[in-house]
Amino acid sequence: MTYQDQPLLKPPVWTWEIPVYFFVGGAAGASAAIALAAQLTRGDEKLIRDARVIALSGAVLSGPLLVSDLGRPERFLHMLRVFKPQSPMSVGVWTLTAFSGATAAAVLVPTKVLKDLAGVVAGATGLVMATYTGVLLGVTAIPEWKNNAHFLPVHFGASSLGAAVSLLELRGHQDDALNALGLGATLFETGAELGKLAGVLSGPVPFLLRLFGRRKAAAACSVLGSMITRFAWVNRPRNASRTSDPAATAATATPRA
């Protein structure tokens, strides 16, 4: 095999920690947003508390997952030395830091007023957590991601929302509002172009299960589908590089004048 037989762009070298982080961070961010929505509408206090706990749990897991992929903790700290608003990676690291502090305060601070103030920050940064990884993929030069740059943030946001709703339902919450959010997320995923297994588990299967009142089964499918979705997108360039024609890859990757 010569260099001419190689694809123009190398596939990403991310390890398993990154798609898991995409899932965990997204679900945590959407949970914080749900908690904020319930807080502003004076919803069930137990729902708010459980959503905040899920958000904090995701925040606690997200840092080690990123550090593990980077290889050394100091690399994560170096990224906090400068804030680059034009860099999704920089925005993501700073957002994760703010999100982690806010979710911790929303759960651990004893004063309700301070909890609620922290909940506002957690919910706002949570919206970024749920979507920025889609932006991160879209700004790369890899065609499989770049060509879906406008779709990925919305797709990841809907997937994160579906996972967050499902985790709360698996905790025992059966609110009608949660079911409506879950239906909306699965309906979006049903219409999206996804990988075969991820698409089925994220969209039509949980959608039909919800219609027939099998909410916990639907929740389990949505969580699994949301996780598989992240692995499918991260691995898509690797799969494409094994099957694509190098000349076609070069033509796709070449910027238009």
Contact 20, 37 (CB under 8 A): no
Per-residue model confidence (pLDDT) at position 159: 95
Q: 161 falls in which pLDDT band (50, 70, 90)?
A: very high
Question: What contacts 78, CB < 8 A, 6 or more positions away?
Answer: none
Convert the pLDDT of each residue in 192-231 to its tens digit. 766 678 889 999 999 999 999 999 999 999 999 999 999 9
Residue 143 to residue 138: CA distance in whole angstroms = 9
Q: What are the angstrom distances between the C-alpha of 18 and each of 22, 142, 226?
A: 6, 17, 14
The answer to whether the CB of 26 falls within 8 A of the CB of 222 is no
pLDDT in tens, 89-119: 888 889 999 999 999 999 999 999 999 999 9
Q: Which domains does the chain have, with CATH numbers?
A: 14-241 (1.20.1630.10)
Three-state SS at 173: coil
> How many whole angstroms separate alpha carbon 224 and alpha carbon 166?
10
Q: Which of 17, 18, 26, 39 is nearest to 165 (CA)?
A: 26
First to last CA, the chain: 31
User: What does the alpha-carbon distance between residue 219 and residue 193 come to, in Å, rounded to a whole number?
Assistant: 21
Model confidence, pTM: 0.86
Q: Scan for tokens 């990988």, then name that residue.
A: 195
Largest CA distance in the chain: 66
